[in-house]
Amino acid sequence: MSRQSPPDRSSARRSPAARPTDDELLDAARAVFAERGYAQATMGLIADRADSTKPTLYAHFGDKAALFRTTVRREVAALRAWVVSAYETANTRPLEERVRLSVMAMFSYAGAHPESFRLLFDSAVDEMSNERRELAGSIATHVVGQVRDHLLAHGRPVGPGADLLGEMMVGLVGRAAMHVSHSPGLDPIAAGELATGFVMAALRGLDPALLERLDHLSGGPGGGAPGPGRGPGCHSPYPAGQCAT
């Protein structure tokens, strides 16, 4: 007797009343893309996750590339609204509280929406899309602004080093929040508080001479090529012949 083949779930259809909404389909796509990355995700896997069919996915979103773009756009909009709300809340607060609220926005989102966070920031998912790149850029711009405010508040010149410090902070917070999104047992709020303390300790303990040296060598405030009396080992922003020891 011949063995019957298992039914092809990708071509089976729900009853019209039970068909998933677009958001439910996008939730399934987000989960599969976050777990497997773009290359390994398939329309069949996404349809299975949504308890739907491949024809339904194609009818609603087009091909896999179009589905991925739609999923990313939705997640970018959600995270942007989340962090913008945190930034607006922090605008009138003291600097340390602004830093805390900004850092906590990333950690709380990573804890509450780990699939979304991995989809947007895990390089293993796929190369950065334009939407994700713009989101990362806007977050970095906000953080750089906070670094500049901190430097100005402490009477320090603001040069290229401020941008580098901002990128360091974004990288640190982003990688740490990504770790939280992969670690269900890790409390995101406690992790965010730890990260806030780490960032503030780094800013308070920053050696001004290191920042001034970078700005000087990069053409920032007081920068430019070494003048008379400045040998290869003299990178001070002070007048000629006054190398710091």
Q: At a CB cut-off of 8 Å and minimum separation 6, what does 58 contact?
A: 43
49 C-beta neighbours (distance < 10 Å), count: 18
In this structure, the dihedral spanned by the alpha carbons of residues 40, 82, 84 and 38, taken in order and rounded to 10 degrees, is: 0
**What is the full per-residue pLDDT of the chain (245 aa) written as tens digits?**
444 444 444 444 555 556 789 999 999 999 999 999 999 999 999 999 999 999 999 999 999 999 999 999 999 999 989 988 887 877 777 878 888 888 899 999 999 999 999 998 887 777 667 777 788 788 888 888 878 887 788 777 788 888 888 888 888 898 999 999 999 899 999 999 999 999 889 888 888 888 888 988 887 654 443 333 333 333 333 333 333 33
What pTM did the predictor assign?
Answer: 0.72
Q: How many residues does the chain have?
A: 245
**Cα–Cα distance, 189 to 202 (Å, whole number):** 20
* Structural tokens at position 73: 């756009």
pLDDT score of 198? 92
Domains of the chain, each with CATH number or no CATH: 19-61 (1.10.10.60), 71-216 (1.10.357.10)
**Cα–Cα distance, 210 to 182 (Å, whole number):** 35
